[in-house]
Each structure stands twice: as structure tokens, then as C-alpha cells.
Amino acid sequence: MTEVWRKAAHELASTLAADAAERDLAGHLPVHEVGLLRESGLLSLLDTAGWAAANEATRVVSAADASVGHLLGYHYLQLWRTGLFGPRAASEPGWFWAGVSNPLDAALLLTPADGGFTVEGTKTFATGAAVADRLVVSATRTDNGEKLTFVVDARTDGITFPGDWDNIGQRLTASGAVRFEAVRVAHDDVLGAQPEDQSDPKVPRISLAAIGFQLMLAQVYVGLAFGALDAAAVYTRESARPWTLSDVDKATQDPYTLAGYGELVATARAAGFAVDAAVSALGEADERGFDLTPAERAEAAIAISSAKIVASRVAVETTSKVFEFTGARATATKYGFDRFWRNARTLTLHDPVTYKAREVGDHFLNGIPPCLSGYS
């Protein structure tokens, strides 16, 4: 079974890499890309092979196309997230899942109505929602302020997508806004509520969603670093010229180029190991169910924050520094090597990584766990 899904992930990555630069420039809504995800069979991986496999597939795909890796990772995350309240939501094998839950945007309001609720408002930064089959949505009740999470068909009447995602990187993630106008949600589609009392024993488990997002972002960062290295290495082997003062025949013989690649590969691998450890930490926390303690939850959060700090730095540095080893000719638009840096620079701004460093430092020096928020 392992060989089947791993082969599918690498085959999809190969397909995506072949025209990644052209698709990035076109910047179309990723309908074609989600179609490729469906055809690959990887959308069912969380159910068929588990949490670690889903993370590995996300990294492999991200190396070829960070936008599609982002979509795939968030698909797994949203489907996994539905199980934090109880049994995981039912999903058809070909369904693509996305979320509408920007923590800084509380604009969605739920008004009680017969048999459920009516949803109104607009949420921003809803990655993949415009091309999804099912949405996992967070909104606030108008009557008592309770924050609920629910599932809704992405094509339900009243749900529209303004198409306002126009950023320098992650151009194929459809990360624009979602508008809800008198959208009906049945009680049966509500997964649960975010506990208001922080001492509620359900809080450690339900709050895993926030650090799950952080982990998937770190996974894409590592994929980006390896993707940039792979693309630059091919160019260095096949097209780069040795510098006139290097006294070597090939660019691949230049000692400075060799040392430079060696440094980047070593740090990318180190970041990968840190993220692997975070995957295990969150997987173990998830297995604890509602028995998860605040201290155990904090350890998982610190593992993920540590990984994200390292992966963020590695992604930005690697995607920029590879140009020093490919040379001026590699900046030609036809190669599209700039997409790696644009994607890394865009995605690593998701939330300030310096706050993750503060969390790790406070935990290390003072034993203070990360505060519970939409980002930690």
C-alpha cells in the first residue's frame, strides 16, 4: 500500500513540475490542478494511509508546485479537523475539502432559524474554497456569541467567491474571499462549538486545529526549499557556466558552488527532520483524544513552532540563495525560478514567525505554554 500512494505522489509531482512555471504565470483558478489531485487518488490518503503519509505527500507535491501542495495539505487538514469534535465527517473519495476560518476575520454570523441556522458575511483568505466540494466553516452565533464549526456544500445557494486573490506568490491557491448570503445550515451539519471556558477538558483537543495549520504550512516550506534545490541543481548541471576565475571546466566542479549547495541541502534536510518530529508530535496528541492534557498539548505546540521557525528561515534563504549558484542567465522568465522565492516569501508571512520564537523561548526559560489562539 505504501508503495502505491508514494508512487502516485511522485508521479503527480512530476506532472506538475513539467509546466509549473507556465501555470504560475497564467495564474488561473486551480480547477485543473484539483482535477489532477482527484485523478491521483491522493485526496483519500488520510483515510487509507494515515496522518504521516498525508504529510509526506504534501511535502512531495509542494516541492513540485507549492500552490498545489498547499491545497493538498489544507485538504488533509480540514478533513482531519472535522474529527476533533467527534467522528470525522463523511467524505467521498474524490471530494476536495477546504476551510473558511481566518482567525483574524470574525465576519461570519449564524442566526438561529428553523432546523438550524442562516449564515451571513464574508470571510477572507479561504484557501481552496472556490474549487472545493465541501467547506469546513467557523462562524459566530448572533444570539449567544458561541463560535461554531460546521460543514457545508461549497455549491450551496448563497455561497459566492469574489475571486480577489491576486498576490505575488501562491498564485494557484484560490486564497480569496468567500461570501455567504442567507446560506442555510442544518443542525446536523454543525460539528461542535469552541469551548468558552479554557478549563473545559475538551479545549486541548479541539484547539489542536490551530497548530495543525502551522504544521501544514511548515510542511509546504520544506517542500519549497527542496523544490528550489532540485530545479536549480538541474540547471547547474545542464546549463550553468563555470566562472572565468574558477579554473574548472564545469559549474558542478566549482568548490564554492559545491559548498554552497552543501550548506543549503544540509539546512533543508535539518528543517525536514524538525517537521517530521512535529508530525509525530501532533499525531500522538491526536491519538490521545479528549484525554489530551494541556501539558501534552503544549509540547506538541512547541514542537510545531520550533519546526516552523526553522522551516520558514530555510524556505526564504534557500529560494533566494540558489540564484547565486545558477547565475544571471537563470533569471530569465522562461525558467520561472523566481516562483519558489515568491511562494516562500508570501506563505511565510501567514503569521509572524517571531511570535513562534517568543513562544519557544518562553516555554524553554519560564515553562510557560503557548497561549491558545487561532495561531498557537
Residue 321 CB partners (closer than 8 Å, separation 6+): 260, 264
pLDDT tens per residue, range 321-332: 999 999 999 999
Percentage of residues in the chain having pLDDT higher than 70: 100
pLDDT of residue 1 exceeding 70, the answer is: no
- The model carries a pTM of 0.97
Which runs of consecutive H residues, i.e. helices, occur in 288-334?
294-321, 323-326
Residue 2 pLDDT level (bands cut at 50, 70, 90): confident
Q: How far apart are CA 176 and CA 100, in angstroms?
A: 10
Instruction: Answer for the pair 98, 129: CB distance below 8 angstroms, yes or no.
Output: yes
**What pLDDT, on the 0 to 100 scale, is given for residue 114?**
87
**What pLDDT, on the 0 to 100 scale, is given for residue 103?**
82
pLDDT tens per residue, range 145-182: 999 999 999 999 999 999 999 999 999 999 999 999 99
Does domain 97-193 fall under CATH 2.40.110.10? My reply is yes
**What pLDDT, on the 0 to 100 scale, is given for residue 104?**
79
The C-alpha angle 25, 30, 31, rounded to 5 degrees, equals 135
Where residue 150 falls (left for φ over 0; alpha for ψ -120 to 50; beta otherwise) is: beta
Is residue 343 packed enough to be buried (19+ CB in 10 Å), middle (13-18) or exposed (0-12)?
Answer: buried
C-alpha cell at position 217: 504550512
**What pLDDT, on the 0 to 100 scale, is given for residue 189?**
96
C-alpha cell at position 157: 445557494
**What pLDDT, on the 0 to 100 scale, is given for residue 217?**
98
Residue 10 pLDDT level (bands cut at 50, 70, 90): very high
| 29: DSSP letter | -
C-alpha cell at position 203: 479545549
pLDDT of residue 266 exceeding 80, the answer is: yes
Mean pLDDT of the residues in the chain: 96
Domains 97-193 and 203-366 share a fold: no
Residue 106 pLDDT level (bands cut at 50, 70, 90): confident
pLDDT tens per residue, range 277-301: 999 999 999 999 999 999 999 999 9
203-366: CATH topology: Butyryl-CoA Dehydrogenase, subunit A; domain 3 (1.20.140)
CATH, range 2-84: 1.10.540.10
pLDDT of residue 127 exceeding 90, the answer is: yes
Query: Domain residues of the chain, as ranges?
Result: 2-84, 97-193, 203-366
pLDDT tens per residue, range 74-105: 999 999 999 999 999 999 999 999 999 888 77
**What pLDDT, on the 0 to 100 scale, is given for residue 245?**
93
Question: Residue for cell digits 574548472?
Answer: 248
Q: 3-state SS of 223-264?
A: HHHHHHHHHHHHHHHHCCCCCCCCCCCCHHHCHHHHHHHHHH
